[in-house]
């Protein structure tokens, strides 16, 4: 079976222009909170379980393993349309890789790392080797702008069923 993998890059849009950090910076949080279409984590997550309980656009840097979301319609995103995993969705974050500090390694090096790590963790998550699975994956990666302007070092691996949206997690799906 021939597989194609969509390569998705992430950026922080307006926050990158302001040169604000990823997290832990109250100024960055103040700017993020002022974006009307963006929801805060407390708006979409259960305070105890941290599961997404409400649909809405969430800052891409607040996306976490176990979150489900729909196609953002762009390869450069600052917000992700998250949904509770019980609802129909396009993707589920199944693994994260934190890249080491240093100079931006380049798009090709980051994509190679993403392919390697996402493929390696696919079987662990799904219960079936990637090459044998009907499922596919893509990933969110840092751009040079987000690397330099926001200390973005995170690759997020996202599983999808190319045939249709899914409801619930694909963990252990073995298909």
Q: What pLDDT digit, counting tens, does each position of 53-83 carry?
A: 999 999 999 999 999 999 988 788 889 999 9
Element (H, E) at 153: none
CB 56 within 8 A of CB 39: yes
**Which of 20-24, 41-45, 67-71, 104-108 bottoms out in mean pLDDT, i.e. has the lowest?**
20-24
Tokens of 66: 């176990």
Predicted structure pTM score: 0.77
SS3 per residue for 53-75? CCCEEEEHHHCCCCCEECCCCCC
Q: What pLDDT digit, counting tens, does each position of 88-121 carry?
A: 999 999 999 999 999 999 999 999 999 999 999 9
Q: What percent of the chain has pLDDT over 70?
A: 77
For residue 52, report the phi and psi dihedrals to the nearest 5 degrees. Answer: -70, 125
Q: What pLDDT digit, counting tens, does each position of 128-138 carry?
A: 999 999 999 99
């Amino acid at each position: 079976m021939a597989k194609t993998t969509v390569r998705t890059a992430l950026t922080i849009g307006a926050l990158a222009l302001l040169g604000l950090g990823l997290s832990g910076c109250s100024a960055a949080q103040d700017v993020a909170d002022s974006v009307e279409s963006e929801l805060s984590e407390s708006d979409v997550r259960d305070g105890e379980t941290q599961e997404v309980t409400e649909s809405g656009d969430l800052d891409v840097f607040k996306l976490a393993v176990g979150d489900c979301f729909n196609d953002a319609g762009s390869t450069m995103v600052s917000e992700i349309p998250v949904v509770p995993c019980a609802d129909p969705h396009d993707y589920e974050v199944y693994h994260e890789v934190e890249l080491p500090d240093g100079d931006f390694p380049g798009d090709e090096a980051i994509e190679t790392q993403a392919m390697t790590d996402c493929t390696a963790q696919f079987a662990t998550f799904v219960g079936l080797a990637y090459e044998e699975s009907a499922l596919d994956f893509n990933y969110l990666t840092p751009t040079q702008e987000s690397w330099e302007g926001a200390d973005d070092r995170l690759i997020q691996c996202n599983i999808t069923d190319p045939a249709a949206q899914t409801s619930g997690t694909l963990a252990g799906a073995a298909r």
